[in-house]
Structure 1
């Protein structure tokens, strides 16, 4: 009986298992039959005029459709609709193939024709100074094609691989001035070119005819054998470059000293055979176009003029109030001391300790513009006093920096005693002392603003006074005539004061002034002179 029962139970278990399996199978079949079908839509792919037709399920992205057809895209190819769009109806996918092509071509740069007027040549006579040659410019174009059709062509790069060389023609002009004897060597800038005079004003010759001297620096060495100058740079990252020319060799070429961005100061170092002291700036895109370093660098040159060594004498510094504009420097006549002037003070450079020693603080001038005022400075011929312009405060102005009043003063470098000279002379009133005569006498010439309370835009007169500030009188120009632009008065190199003439720029020409006779003699007549140096 027990055996029959076990057989029955075992048969029942198999039966139940079969029933359960059948039930599950029917459930799966039913579920599959009840699942809804996803509708398909028609898709056309237009790939650069090649059309592909297909069907895809609703909800598929454009990117997935293109991938299913093994269609790859380049960086600039365009797809419409965009790749992440979801397909909900029949659409056309349009692919525009964009091709980027770079092409390079060379074009000729025509040379310019420059004329240089020369008073030493007969009128209308011409001399070809330099033959012109064309340059070469390499231009790179970026071309975009859409499905093979030109869409745009633009210039992405231009490089002048060969610079054009201008044709320079010298044209004679008849000079109405009789030749004037001059002492030493006089070099000057006319229309961006360097010229030189020796012995008399008729004996002149061109030194540099490239027309790119900017006049920031233009200085003859004490022996008159070398010319230090700046010229504009072809490098857009530079303001200018410092160059040197040997005047004793007519066939020599200018030497690049590998120092750039000189705005305020570069001068021969007294007591050294071939050494130059310079102060640099950093170029900026905002006005005034630079940030001053207020530094001093000594350049040691070889016998051939090439740079041998650079040495920092004064490290870069802020330069005080408005120091971004810069600092100017001036050697004493004996070359033993170096004075400085910046917008808020004047003093001496301590070359042993590489620092500045302030002698007198000055009130900065608020220009209200993108420049800063720095007092002109000069030395007395016995190396004892520094002449400077002192900005004066006034009760009429709540802000002392806005006062338009400027007095001429001098300071004893040993005692620091300040002496007051002529008042209300103008902010650009530079001074210059004549050489000392045998009886230890000298005169001081200075600039006096014609409109002192607007001295930033005023023209100036040349004045003369005794060393103690007395006997002040007008030298040039006479009353009613146009004044001079602010400048530094240069003395003729001579031994006896009574024979010394002062040189100035007036209406684009060099004039010699006799400060005793109050007379003038014109040296040049082209009206294009912007600076000169006399040694």
Structure 2
């Protein structure tokens, strides 16, 4: 039998055996090969690790240098130690940015003709690149900064519009606002007459009398006193030549003719030093046109107007001229002009824009005056507070019967509505949950919500950049829309689209 040794005795025994061996190994030089700085050296070293071997060989390492095997590896006879020197430098390059090309379509050019309107200029970017070198050879290039020095200037080229703009007769009187002046299409869409040469129409008021004889518009001069928001002017289209003249109104935020043409309704405000530049009074006046002037009486005294009341309200005449529908940030109602009684029809949480603008409902009466189509702030999509809901629905309100119901859900906050004898036209957001920034398409639907179909713009076009601007044709045969600064006519019910103008800068329109 073998004797049993204690643990302490065995540990001491191993120490006595191994320690002399280690000392003997360290005492005897170990052959290794070191490859560094373009040289290959065979050396004998008394080192336990790669780090110690390099130190004994007089080789220092930079922060980025790489060693193979790793510095902590144990030395073995015949080992090859390779040191790769890593350095980094910065290189700055100037890169040209190609200029884009913009196409303007001009009906005055002959077929196939082009004209350079503005020469393009490339932009410039300053790019900083970090280059990593391994033993003097480029190993990696990495972009670490890009700075725009100069934006490119687009090249603008005008091309012929032949075949895109059609010339067609129109009924009634059609006027539009472009380059801050009023223009008229006289009988044929190819015949455009300039009505004013003022250069300061602001587009806030631009409305024709129902018989198409008088145009009312607002002017905002840069030299006007700070206390003046705008002035309202009138123009008799039957005069030769038409001469604009002031009608005696100023600081008007909204104005529209009554359907019978015997009166106008308007609301006022005042200039404000901060955004949006005005403060609404939330009042209401009724005026009559006589000898080029408007004499008015106040129907509603100024009020706070509810949440976001500084923005103002929306109004819409009833077809019989006896009532005005109104929209506030928190509800919709009807004002009876004879009794001056306001009747609420629908309430909803105000939409918190958290900015210098406010959302108010779009409104449109049915031709028989029994119903009102309106945009309403809808319920939350998930768990957000009601005031932050991004859902907006199209509602139908029975004015005298007292009921209201949603017709189309989630159309977007700039949907826009027009009720015509042929049904409802409305905008539909591409992204309803982001309706303030979304593009919109124009749809048609029957008054009961059936037979919904897309009308405009043609496939491939980007859509309206906000609330669609549309007018029903006086002859009841089609719809006029303003899109990307031009006028388009949509034949109903075929849906055929005709481009009428090549202005590119039309900001408002009226058609009676």
What's the TM-score bracket when you normalise by the shorter of the two chains? 0.5 to 0.7
SS of residue matched to 1:199:
coil
Match of 1:253 among 227, 243, 246: 243
Partner of 2:510: 533
Partner of 1:491: 472
**8 A contact 1:397–1:403 mirrored in 2:** no
Partner of 2:490: 513
Give the TM-score normalised by structure 2: 0.66
Partner of 1:354: 340
Partner of 2:264: 276
1:178 Cα deviation from its structure 2 partner? 3.2
CA distance in 2, matches of 1:377, 1:266: 15
Q: Which runs of 4+ in 1 moved over 3 A?
A: 117-123, 172-175, 270-273
Aligned pairs for 1:455-466 within 5 A: 455-466=435-446
SS of residue matched to 1:401:
helix
CA distance in 1, matches of 2:339, 2:256: 21
User: Which of the two has higher C-alpha Rg?
Assistant: 1
Partner of 1:110: none
**Are residues 1:501 and 2:481 paired?**
no
SS of residue matched to 1:184:
coil
Runs (5+) with no aligned partner, structure 2? 1-103, 111-157
**Are residues 1:299 and 2:273 paired?**
no
**Are residues 1:201 and 2:178 paired?**
no
Partner of 2:54: none
Partner of 2:501: 524
RMSD of equivalent CA atoms: 2.3
Aligned pairs for 1:78-477 within 5 A: 176=162, 177-233=165-221, 234-237=223-226, 238-263=228-253, 265-273=254-262, 275-302=263-290, 304-307=291-294, 309-394=295-380, 396-435=382-421, 442-477=422-457
1:252 Cα deviation from its structure 2 partner? 4.0
SS of residue matched to 1:453:
helix
1:434 Cα deviation from its structure 2 partner? 2.3
Distance of aligned partners of 1:515 and 1:455 in 2 relative to their CA distance in 1, 3 Å threshold: farther
Partner of 2:118: none
SS of residue matched to 1:217:
strand
CA distance in 2, matches of 1:343, 1:355: 19
SS of residue matched to 2:396:
strand
CA distance in 2, matches of 1:478, 1:430: 19
1:358 Cα deviation from its structure 2 partner? 1.2
CA distance in 1, matches of 2:176, 2:391: 33
**8 A contact 1:315–1:354 mirrored in 2:** no
CA offsets 1:304-327 (integer angstroms, 9 cap, x no match): 3124x3211111111122111101
1:223 Cα deviation from its structure 2 partner? 0.7
**8 A contact 2:210–2:260 mirrored in 1:** no
CA offsets 1:285-340 (integer angstroms, 9 cap, x no match): 122111111111122232x3124x32111111111221111011101223232111
**8 A contact 1:120–1:204 mirrored in 2:** no
Which of 398-407 and 328-337 deviates more? 328-337
1:204 Cα deviation from its structure 2 partner? 1.9
CA distance in 2, matches of 1:509, 1:120: 13
1:256 Cα deviation from its structure 2 partner? 0.8
Aligned pairs for 1:24-103 within 5 A: none
CA distance in 2, matches of 1:531, 1:272: 20
Distance of aligned partners of 1:465 and 1:118 in 2 relative to their CA distance in 1, 3 Å threshold: closer
**8 A contact 1:431–1:488 mirrored in 2:** no
CA distance in 1, matches of 2:211, 2:159: 31
Give the TM-score normalised by structure 1: 0.63
CA distance in 2, matches of 1:532, 1:395: 36
Distance of aligned partners of 1:405 and 1:463 in 2 relative to their CA distance in 1, 3 Å threshold: same
Aligned pairs for 1:8-19 within 5 A: none
CA distance in 1, matches of 2:198, 2:478: 31
CA offsets 1:357-376 (integer angstroms, 9 cap, x no match): 21111221011111110010
The number of equivalent residue pairs is 357
SS of residue matched to 2:252:
coil
CA offsets 1:165-186 (integer angstroms, 9 cap, x no match): xxxxxxx997632311111110
CA distance in 2, matches of 1:173, 1:231: 34
